[in-house]
Amino acid sequence: MIETTLSGDGSRTLYCETVGEHYHSTKDGALSEALYKHVLPAWQYRIAGRSTITVLDICFGLGYNTLALIWYLRQQGYCGNLKIFSPEHDRKLVASLADFPYPDEFIGLNPIILELAKNLHYADSNLTIEIVAADARSWLRDFTTSVDIVFHDPFSPAHNHQLWTREYFAELRRLGANDLLVTTYSTATAVRMGLFENGFHIYENRPEAKVRSATLASLTPLSLPEIDMNLKQQRNPLAASLRDEGEF
């Protein structure tokens, strides 16, 4: 039986001993994070009204972002075609999800959860999910599918540095559609700079619910007040993006 942590909204998450971090904010709650920081902005700014959507969910972890997206789209009666690709290097973790005590919202998703835990793959007439048991950064180098939305949800830069650098965001831009939207829980200036330096418009995602602010980065302008990253840099000349080792 996995030992889980009760998070702020009543949904359960895990603590990663080796990393020393929870998989979700225990304050905001696992389900609330997935919904308010990723799924709702994705719906509002990209998915509603489109018939085909491809999402890159970095990294799968307990699968809350992928599952909350499917749950929400079903609630909305969305009939379009959804493809989700999600790297996750911990194959054992994914296998263990067959027994994870997910919130009631996900009860109808049980066949999907069981199939993913067993085969890392699920497909039906309008949904395909592919979990890739690999290092996200290495796998992305050879990934060529055009992506509309990235749920960017690795551990913090202290533990997943290579998934927060300017060079990493350049990779995302390379494989993203012209209007790629990136959602992330991080509000760090260094992270926003890395996105901004790759041509993204940067926005504060201020959920109405009791969930802390997050970041939206879009290659096309959104109907939100844009953060002036040039001004931020003028005010703090030391503000800089994170870089891959050896990059300046």
Token pair 């300017």 is found at 166
Closer residue to ligand SAM in complex, CB, 65/229: 65
Length of the chain equals 248
Cβ 34 vs Cβ 64: under 8 Å: yes
- Residue nearer to ligand SAM on the CB measure, 59 or 229: 59
Cα 48 to its chain centre, rounded Å, is 18
Min separation Cβ 103 and ligand SAM, Å: 12
Of 104 and 231, the one with the shorter C-beta distance to ligand SAM is 104
Instruction: Give me the least distance between CB of 45 and ligand SAM, in Å please.
Output: 19
β-bridge partners, 122:
129
Q: Residue 175 in contact with residue 140, Cβ under 8 Å? A: yes
Cβ atoms of 184 and 194 within 8 Å: the answer is: no
For ligand SAM, the closer of residues 136 and 180 by Cβ is: 136
Opening angle at CA 38, ends 23 and 6, nearest 5: 35
Nearer to ligand SAM, 186 or 189 (CB): 186
Task: Using alpha carbons, select from 10, 133, 14, 112 the residue that is nearest to residue 69.
Answer: 112
Strand partners, 217: 182, 202
| CB of 232 vs ligand SAM, minimal distance in Å | 26
Smallest separation, CB 39 to ligand SAM (Å): 10
For binding to ligand SAM (CB under 6 A), which residues are involved? 23, 34, 59, 61-65, 87-90, 93, 135-137, 153-155, 160
Q: In the bound complex, what is the minimum distance in angstroms from residue 38's beta carbon to ligand SAM? A: 8
Partner residues linked to 13 by β-bridges: 5
Question: Which of 161, 201 has the CB closer to ligand SAM?
Answer: 161
Cβ-in-10-Å burial (0-12, 13-18, 19+) of 173 comes to: middle
In the bound complex, what is the minimum distance in angstroms from residue 19's beta carbon to ligand SAM?
8
How many angstroms separate the CA atoms of 135 and 175, rounded? 17
Q: Which residue is nearest to ligand SAM (CB)?
A: 61
